[in-house]
Amino acid sequence: MDEATARSVLCDACSALYGKDLLVSAGGNVSIRFDNGILITPSGRNKGSLLPDDMVKITMEGKVSGKGKPSIEYKFHLALYERRSEINAVVHCHPIYCTALAVRGERLRSDLTPEGVILLGDVPNIPYRTPGSDELVEEVSKIYRSSAAIMESHGAVTQGRTMEEACNRMEELEFQAHLQLIVGNAVGLPREEVYRLRKK
C-alpha cells in the first residue's frame, strides 16, 4: 500500500470508529503500516475530524518523518508490528463497555456467541501501566499473538491484517463487552463448539 492510500484508509477508519462511538474526543490512537513505515493519528486531536494530511509518518525505528506529533502510544504500535509481519493495522480505543470491564479488571468472555469466538479468540487483560510509558509497551508486547485485548483501567486494543479487520474486531469487542455486562454469568458456548469454531 502506498502512502497516499494509507492516509486515506486511516482517515476513513478514524471517521467510522468515531461515528460508532468507539473513538471518543482526543482519546485513543489508530495506525496503519504501509510501504515505507507506519502512519499514526496525531497527539491530542479529535479523531472524528482528522484529514489525511494530519496523519503522522513514522519509520519502523520510531523516527518521525515529516510534520506532526504522533500519539504518545506509538511505541506499542511499533512493538506489535515488529512481532507480527502480517499485521498492518492497530486500533486502540476507549469504548464505554470495554472500558467498563477494563476499570473493573474483568476478563472479556468471547465465548458467548460464535462471532466472538471467530473474530476475537481469547482476549487477555493487559495490566495497567501509564499511557506512553515503556512499561506499557512491554505489557502490550506480551499479548502480540492476540487479536484483541482489554487494557486495565484504560481501554482496548485490536490488530489485524487489514484496517477493516482491526476495526471489525474493535466493534465486535465492544459488542461482546456490552453483551457480557447485560447477561452477567450466562453460560457460554460448549468447549467443543469453541474449539470447532476456532478451527474455521
The answer to whether 161 touches 108, Cβ cutoff 8 Å, is: no
DSSP string, 10-45: HHHHHHHHHHTTSS-TT--EEEEEETTEEEEPBTT-
Indicate the pTM of the whole model: 0.94
Which parts of the chain are beta strand (E)? 29-34, 37-40, 56-58, 64-65, 89-93, 125-126, 148-151, 155-160
Nearest-angstrom CA–CA distance, 6 and 54: 12
Residue 190: partners with Cβ closer than 8 Å, 6 or more residues away: none
pLDDT in 10s for each residue of the chain, 200 residues: 899 999 999 999 999 999 999 998 888 999 999 987 999 999 989 999 999 999 999 999 889 987 889 999 999 999 999 999 999 999 999 999 999 999 999 999 999 999 999 999 999 999 999 999 999 999 999 999 999 999 999 999 999 999 999 999 999 999 999 999 999 888 888 988 988 988 76
Q: List residues with catalytic annotation.
A: 73
Query: What is the end-to-end Cα distance of the chain in Å, rounded?
Result: 28
For the chain, domain boundaries: 3-198
CATH architecture of the domain 3-198 equals 3-Layer(aba) Sandwich (3.40)
